[in-house]
């Protein structure tokens, strides 16, 4: 069916992988997204070797140097420097480490907890559902940044508390999506059939229902990945998240805001890299959803 170059036996893991890959790579957008993400990951991993400068090094003789293609630009600083003379390219490269790992953690925490709570609420209904959805409504009722600020203030400022706070802010979206999907699937005949053949609550929730509810969750995960980058940046800007001089993309963006008129590059490049990363993750998420959904498969 799917495997063209690798004629593996059906049912094996290798066959599934091959069929997954042929579906995933059929979408050009997903492939571009994947390549971009892999590149960014590699750059982040090998930052000390890739980056031309120390991200925290301040060159007092080169404040706000424009990028290399300007007349005043210098080959020393390919993408220019910021207000205190730090190389923007190096900071972006090192920043990839922070931004990506923080966002990944946020998404993992909020998605894991959200799926669990949403499954509980949608599967058992009754008072469990009422309690969970009411608490989530309360979380949603707060302005997200205010809530995150409050949580960080309680948990003491720092990277870990910022991650937990932002995961908490993202939680309701996962809970609601999961709950809605579970309620829609729960009374389908295949779930009843599985129950009649003896499946217990846990098996029904995680083995039968969850895989059929994943499509919207994967898309939501890629969306909240981008929101997490921006939220972490906002917390950093308010002094509650990443502490300077850590080169985090959002913090770079926030710090350079006042030079937007005079030195566009200090704002543009962090903004651009956030935009690109978010876009590519979304593209990849779309492809992932299509490849994981057997209904979209061409047989």
Site for another protein, rule CB under 8 A: 10-11, 188-190, 192-199, 203, 208, 211-212, 294-295, 297, 299
CB of 80 to another protein, least distance (A): 50
CB nearer another protein, residue 60 or residue 295: 295
Report the nearest approach of another protein to the CB of residue 8 (Å). Answer: 11
Closest approach of another protein to the CB of residue 117, in Å: 21
248 C-beta neighbours (distance < 10 Å), count: 28
Looking at the Cβ atoms of 39 and 193, the one nearer to another protein is 193
Contacts 24+ apart (CB under 8 A), 244-247: 245/55, 245/56, 245/86, 246/98, 247/55, 247/56, 247/86, 247/90, 247/91, 247/92, 247/94, 247/95, 247/98
Smallest distance, Å, CB 189 to another protein? 4
Taking Cα atoms as reference points, which of 99, 93, 81 lies closest to residue 266? 81
Q: How far is the CB of 187 from another protein (least distance, A)?
A: 10
Q: How far is CA 222 from CA 116, 212, 225, in A?
A: 18, 18, 5
Which lies closer to another protein via its Cβ, residue 46 or residue 190?
A: 190
The smaller minimum CB distance to another protein, of residues 105 and 292, is found at: 292
Maximal C-alpha separation, the chain: 76
Residue 108 · residue 97 · CB < 8 Å: no
Q: How far apart are CA 167 and CA 100, in angstroms?
A: 14
Shortest Cβ distance from residue 122 to another protein (Å)? 16
Neighbours of 86 (CB within 10 A): 23
Q: Residue 85 or 125: which CB sits closer to another protein?
A: 125
Decide whether 270 or 287 has the Cβ nearer to another protein.
287
The nearer residue to another protein, 201 or 257, going by C-beta atoms, is: 201
CB of 297 to another protein, least distance (A): 7
């Amino acid at each position: 069916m799917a495997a063209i170059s690798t004629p593996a036996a059906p049912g094996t893991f290798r066959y599934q992988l091959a069929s997954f890959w042929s579906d995933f790579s059929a979408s050009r957008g997903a492939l571009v997204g994947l390549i971009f993400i892999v590149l960014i990951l590699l750059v982040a991993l090998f930052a000390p070797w890739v980056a031309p400068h120390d991200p925290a090094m301040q060159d007092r003789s080169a404040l706000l140097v424009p990028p290399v293609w300007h007349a005043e630009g210098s080959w020393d600083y390919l993408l220019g420097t910021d207000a205190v003379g730090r190389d923007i390219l190096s900071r972006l490269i090192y920043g990839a480490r922070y931004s990506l790992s923080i966002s990944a953690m946020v998404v993992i925490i909020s998605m894991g907890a959200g799926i669990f709570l949403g499954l509980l609420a949608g599967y058992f209904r009754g008072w469990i559902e009422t309690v969970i959805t009411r608490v989530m409504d309360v979380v949603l009722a707060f302005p997200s940044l205010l809530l995150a600020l409050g949580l960080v203030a309680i948990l003491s400022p720092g990277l870990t508390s910022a991650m937990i706070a932002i995961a908490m802010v993202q939680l309701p979206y996962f809970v609601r999506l999961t709950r809605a999907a579970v309620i829609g699937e729960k009374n389908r005949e295949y779930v009843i059939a599985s129950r009649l053949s003896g499946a217990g609550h846990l098996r029904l929730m995680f083995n039968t229902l969850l895989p059929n509810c994943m499509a919207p969750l994967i898309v939501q995960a890629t969306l909240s990945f981008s929101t997490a980058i921006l939220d972490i940046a906002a917390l950093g800007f308010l002094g509650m998240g990443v502490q300077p001089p850590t080169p985090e993309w959002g913090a770079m963006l926030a710090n350079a805001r006042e030079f937007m008129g005079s030195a566009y590059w200090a704002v543009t490049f962090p903004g651009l890299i956030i935009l690109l990363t978010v876009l590519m993750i979304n593209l990849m998420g779309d492809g992932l959803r299509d490849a994981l959904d057997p209904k979209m498969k061409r047989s």
